[in-house]
Structure 1
Amino acid sequence: MEFYNKIGRLALGSRMRRLTELHMDQASKVYALYNVEMQSKWFPVYYTLCNGEEKTITQIAQEIGHSHPSVSIIVKEMTKKGIVKESPYKGDGRKNYVMLTEKGMSYDERLQEQFLDVNAAIEGALAETQHNLWKAIEEWEYILEQRSLDKRVIDAKKQRESKDILIVDYDPKYQPAFKQLNEEWITTYFKMEEADYKSLDHAKEYILDKGGYILFALDKGEPIGTCALIKKDEDTFELAKMAVSPLAKGKGIGSLLGNAVIERAKSVGAKKLYLESNMILKPAISLYQKLGFKKVIGNPSPYERCNIQMELNLVK
């Protein structure tokens, strides 16, 4: 137990596995008390068949929430012990029915007695605990079904890494990065156009001098992402030239930049943000939707690649 106390919640899966192994080991001794040749892992399969029904492995797997290969292995083990048998499935020769044998059916009376005693023992054990393990397991299963552990770890990773990211305003020394980051993603999917060269080669004249802004995401001082706000009129800015280095993908940089430019637009009194994109850029479109942008029919675009226009109202 010292290991688990030392490492804490990082070993949650291992701790649960240890508890499972402990429970399975003690359960095997319980079956022996009732002279039933059974393993704990077989019980769910046995229980689905104990009323005498024939079922396919697929049906059993769906009913007990196990994988098809897992049930298939258990059925093979129970078949070797003479507890279940398989017979051809009439509708499809590639499938088999599974049912209890006479030996398997003979366990019923003893198992009914065992069920009563085990249930009483479990209830007694639960009464000795401060927390109801059964309810805790139900709750844990539910939250993992809502959002899996791996996705939760991805979120935690992004949050941790984002703490090291600094959002700063344009500086002439970042001009090469502004062009490189944008040119990199544009040429990956499309071709550079005249409007691109105007804004990327002459950022000061085309964006900044007209009342716009350019923000950069820095990681240890290195620009890994950028986004511009181009002033369209007194009330409207265009969110444009958002680009993130491929080396920084998955760190949530786009979200950080998106939120930063929205806050900047609000701070200078903008009432609306507008953007142009292409629907093949699914991660980008998803990000814009999460930021609150909605599809609109806008004015003709200077970009050939534009096939979707979106807006975000900043005034509620």
Structure 2
Amino acid sequence: MDFMAELAELAMASRLRRLSDTYWQAVTAIYRESGLDFEVKWATVFILIVRQGPISVMDIAERLGVTHPGVIQVVNELVQRGLVTSEKSGKDSRKRLLSLSPDGEAMVPKLQPLWDAFVAVNRQMLTNQTHNLLQSLQEMEEQLAEKPFVNRVRDHLNQSNHE
């Protein structure tokens, strides 16, 4: 038996990481096989710019629920790669708005069939499951948004110490 599966709840973060790594490697392989110079870590930011642009770094961070520095790192790579442009906002000169560059726009039709395939395969795998992983992840994220894991563990430890 898989030792991490045996550890069950104790290894949840490790199992999520392992699942993520499995996807990351597979998607990277598909991009490379398709001859595309595109990184998995760029995808969510890039897709948001495709669907929403022009958009600010702060708005991207809020929409994705990730850190501002994390978004800046990805955006800098996308700008350096020439897929995204960054321009000052007409309304607020302190704010920079991100849009697709001509190279970025040219990349979308090459990426879209791959993204469609990713969605189709994931849907197929999800329908073959007893429980819906996406729904379970959403529920976990909502619970953690209400009360972070660290606070839950501290409360549990405090309760255990008082019993």
Q: TM-score range by the shorter chain?
A: 0.7 to 0.9
- Residue 3 of structure 1: how far off its partner (Å): 4.1
Q: Judging changes above 3 Å, is the alpha-carbon distance between structure 1 residues 157 and 111 closer, same or farther for their aligned structure 2 residues?
A: same
Q: Name the counterpart of 2:80.
A: 80
| 2:124 corresponds to 1:124 | yes
Pairing of 1:56-75 with structure 2 (within 5 A): 56-75=56-75
Structure 1 residue runs of 5 or longer lacking an equivalent are: 164-316
Give the number of aligned pairs. Answer: 163
- Residue 138 of structure 1: how far off its partner (Å): 1.0
Q: Name the counterpart of 2:113.
A: 113
Q: Judging changes above 3 Å, is the alpha-carbon distance between structure 1 residues 5 and 65 closer, same or farther for their aligned structure 2 residues?
A: closer
User: Does the Cα contact within 8 Å between 2:56 and 2:98 map onto a contact in 1?
Assistant: yes
Query: Percent identity among equivalent residues?
Result: 26
TM-score normalised by structure 1 residue count? 0.47
User: Does the Cα contact within 8 Å between 1:34 and 1:111 map onto a contact in 2?
Assistant: no
TM-score normalised by structure 2 residue count? 0.87
Q: Name the counterpart of 2:16.
A: 16
Q: Judging changes above 3 Å, is the alpha-carbon distance between structure 1 residues 59 and 5 closer, same or farther for their aligned structure 2 residues?
A: closer
- The letter of the residue matching 2:127 is A
User: Does the Cα contact within 8 Å between 2:5 and 2:11 map onto a contact in 1?
Assistant: no
- Residue 84 of structure 1: how far off its partner (Å): 0.8
More strand by share: 1
Moved over 4 A (4+): none
Q: Name the counterpart of 1:29.
A: 29
Q: Judging changes above 3 Å, is the alpha-carbon distance between structure 1 residues 52 and 130 closer, same or farther for their aligned structure 2 residues?
A: closer
User: Does the Cα contact within 8 Å between 1:45 and 1:71 map onto a contact in 2?
Assistant: yes
Root-mean-square deviation (CA, aligned residues, Å) is 2.1
Q: Name the counterpart of 1:89.
A: 89
Residue aligned with 2:26, SS: helix
Q: Which structure's relative contact order is higher, taking Cα pairs within 8 Å and 6+ residues apart? A: 2
Q: Name the counterpart of 1:40.
A: 40
Structure 2 residue runs of 5 or longer lacking an equivalent are: none
User: Does the Cα contact within 8 Å between 2:61 and 2:67 map onto a contact in 1?
Assistant: yes
- The letter of the residue matching 2:120 is A
- The letter of the residue matching 2:150 is D
